[in-house]
Structure 1
Amino acid sequence: MIGRFKAELFLILATVVWGGTFPVISELLSFVDAAYIVGFRFLISAVILFPFLFKGGLFLRIRQGLVDGFILGSLTFSGFYLQTVGLNYTTPARSAFITQLLLIYVLIFQVFAKRKRPTIWNVISTVILFIGAVILVDPFALEGKLNKGDIITGLSAAAFAAYIIRIDHVKSEGRMVSILFSQFVLCSVLGFTLSFVQDAPVPIFNFTSVGFILYLAIPATLFATYTMLKYQPKTTPMRASILYSLEPIFATLITILFLGIWPLKHEVIGGSIVFFAVILSEVSPLLRHTTKPEPKN
């Protein structure tokens, strides 16, 4: 019991760290272009992870996770880059809640990729999530037009959903470090390449921007990933998922605390509905079990 309590405390801490990335990136964009942010974030993560590849042979370890790492890396880059760009135009809290749309994409991808039929609870939670998202973004506020940042963030959710689906096909036993390293390297290369192609402005390095980049690379990437791998197995998938769903709540609170940006009334209502839909989606297996009719004798 104590072991699970400790594990869940660490998972909550990781979720708080993830929530903090939204206001951090929003502020960092004043100093560094989105592509550079992704490039530096994953370059530092890859450099720190590199020494761990020497156990068992450097080139063997790299080769073991190269293909899967590159596939996951392309999806990771797409998700984080689009999410970062979106924060140029929307608030951190809105971005965090809109990212939860990945549940809708996961449901759609499962239907087509896995031929997995959705349950009634999947459909109900998805409909509620969509309603909450519509209220959250308030498409009628800007002369019937959606906020550009909300649209881009919604696309990032699709990339994150594809990443989740792909993870199911990856056997990471004994290859986790090599997969992560390949993933980080590709994200970094793509980030810097895109920044050069776009002729992005030269980053402004100061105490604030460097601190933000280090926060994204070390606590938000390495620590959070390590925490997931180490402590998630010590609790149930459902409990872990519910803890992760707190991310937009923490993002909102941190944004209010450090940036002084309060959500609007419709954002509070829409965000609350989105959060409820996420929780409903996570507990749906339990609901499905309890509502299943007992077999007749």
Structure 2
Amino acid sequence: MKHYLGDVLLLITAVVWGSGFVVTAIALEHLTAYQVMAGRFVLATLILCVLFHRKLRTLTRSVLWKGAVLGSILFVAFALQTVGLEYTTPSKNAFITAVNVVIVPVIAYLVFKRRIDRHETLGSVLALAGIGFMSLQGSMTVNLGDFLTLLCAVGFAFDIFYTNLFVKKEDALSLTIVQFATASVLSVGAVLVLGEVPATLTGAAIWPIVYLAVFSTTIAYVCQNIAFRYTTPTKAAVILSLESFFGTAMSVLFLHEVLTGRMVLGAVLILAAILIAELKPSLKLKPRIRPEH
């Protein structure tokens, strides 16, 4: 049952993050990248502190430094992604970010010499190909936004890997609170240093921030960090790659984008990758049948 709990929570995260690309693009029409980040992380931190205030009394030194590490990684990854979105399209931003599906098992190999098995390799490659078919609709040229987004993919891969590692020994909610608080301090600091403190905020600028803070940040990351107790980093990355699928689906539903054959093929490849990741344990348990001669 716990196995499926992790999968369901990661699926919820993927759905919410899929919508986040559209909402972030809307927010950037009214605010700068660091203003968007500061707003979403500060509000998300306040929400968590109100809902789980008892966790603040039990923060240990271990949780503080691990949460600070995760928060710093999160800030860098989101900064690269959000600034990158100012110079590239949401579809290319989503695709390149999803390269973390391939990077996570590589990090596991480099840090712990964990072997990359054929199921993880096949699942990662299929997911990456599927995201490419769904998201890359325009030019394949690499511009500044694409390069920044590629760097952000590395950051998110490290975030997935180390979050999965830390929640095995620490309370997931406590880690999330410290993680968001750290990202908030860094984001607000960036706004102050760059002199981007807004004089006024319109409703058109506020509602995307509220959505990103409540859903894409608070709910999604709480679900993700709890789910990491019950899954592996590579499997989590593959399931989370569905955010591109849901992002495209929501664009079709709400922005009336045309559903193309490439999008359908991408969806099929991503679902195949999820099935491979899901069925891997059962495949290993099945006894090999000797062929009859």
The TM-score bracket by the shorter chain reads 0.7 to 0.9
- Structure 1 match to 2:20: 21
**Letter of the structure 1 residue corresponding to residue 142 of structure 2:** L
**Is the counterpart of residue 66 in structure 1 residue 61 in structure 2?**
no
Structure 2 distance, partners of 1:82, 1:270, is 29
Structure 2 distance, partners of 1:231, 1:168, is 9
Contact 1:92 1:251 in 2 (8 A): no
CA apart distance, 1:47: 1.4
Question: Do the aligned partners of residues 90 and 45 (structure 1) sit closer, same or farther apart at CA in structure 2, a change above 3 Å counting?
Answer: same
Superposition map of 1:145-294 within 5 A: 145-171=141-167, 175-200=171-196, 202=198, 205-228=201-224, 244-262=240-258, 268=263, 271-272=266-267, 275=270, 278-279=273-274, 282-283=277-278, 285-286=280-281, 289=284, 293=288
CA apart distance, 1:32: 0.9
Question: Do the aligned partners of residues 13 and 225 (structure 1) sit closer, same or farther apart at CA in structure 2, a change above 3 Å counting?
Answer: same
- Structure 2 match to 1:113: 111
Contact 2:16 2:220 in 1 (8 A): yes
CA apart distance, 1:130: 5.5
CA apart distance, 1:209: 1.4
Question: Do the aligned partners of residues 156 and 261 (structure 1) sit closer, same or farther apart at CA in structure 2, a change above 3 Å counting?
Answer: farther
**Letter of the structure 2 residue corresponding to residue 49 of structure 1:** L
- Structure 2 match to 1:98: 96
Over the residues paired in the alignment, what is the CA RMSD in angstroms? 4.0
Question: Do the aligned partners of residues 53 and 34 (structure 1) sit closer, same or farther apart at CA in structure 2, a change above 3 Å counting?
Answer: same
Structure 2 distance, partners of 1:239, 1:112, is 17
- Structure 2 match to 1:39: 38
CA apart distance, 1:4: 9.8
Contact 1:132 1:269 in 2 (8 A): no
Question: Do the aligned partners of residues 47 and 181 (structure 1) sit closer, same or farther apart at CA in structure 2, a change above 3 Å counting?
Answer: same
CA apart distance, 1:44: 0.8
CA apart distance, 1:251: 0.7
Contact 2:63 2:175 in 1 (8 A): yes
Structure 1 distance, partners of 2:212, 2:226, is 20
Which stretches in structure 1 are left out of the alignment for 5+ residues?
none
- With structure 2 as the length reference, what TM-score do the two structures score? 0.78
CA apart distance, 1:223: 2.2
Question: Do the aligned partners of residues 218 and 164 (structure 1) sit closer, same or farther apart at CA in structure 2, a change above 3 Å counting?
Answer: same
Structure 2 distance, partners of 1:231, 1:136, is 26
Which stretches in structure 2 are left out of the alignment for 5+ residues?
none
Contact 2:10 2:239 in 1 (8 A): yes
- How many percent of aligned residue pairs carry the same amino acid? 26
**Letter of the structure 2 residue corresponding to residue 221 of structure 1:** T
CA apart distance, 1:265: 6.8
Task: Tell me which of 71, 82, 86 is aligned to 2:80.
Answer: 82
**Letter of the structure 2 residue corresponding to residue 285 of structure 1:** K
Q: Any idea what SS the aligned residue of 1:168 has?
A: helix
**Letter of the structure 1 residue corresponding to residue 255 of structure 2:** L
Contact 1:28 1:209 in 2 (8 A): yes
Residue-by-residue CA offset, 1:62-81 (whole Å, 9 max, x unaligned): 64521011001011112222
Structure 2 distance, partners of 1:5, 1:172, is 17
Structure 2 distance, partners of 1:110, 1:232, is 15
Structure 1 distance, partners of 2:259, 2:120, is 28
Contact 1:128 1:273 in 2 (8 A): no
Contact 2:134 2:245 in 1 (8 A): no
Superposition map of 1:125-164 within 5 A: 125-128=123-126, 145-164=141-160
CA apart distance, 1:54: 4.6
Q: Any idea what SS the aligned residue of 2:20 has?
A: helix
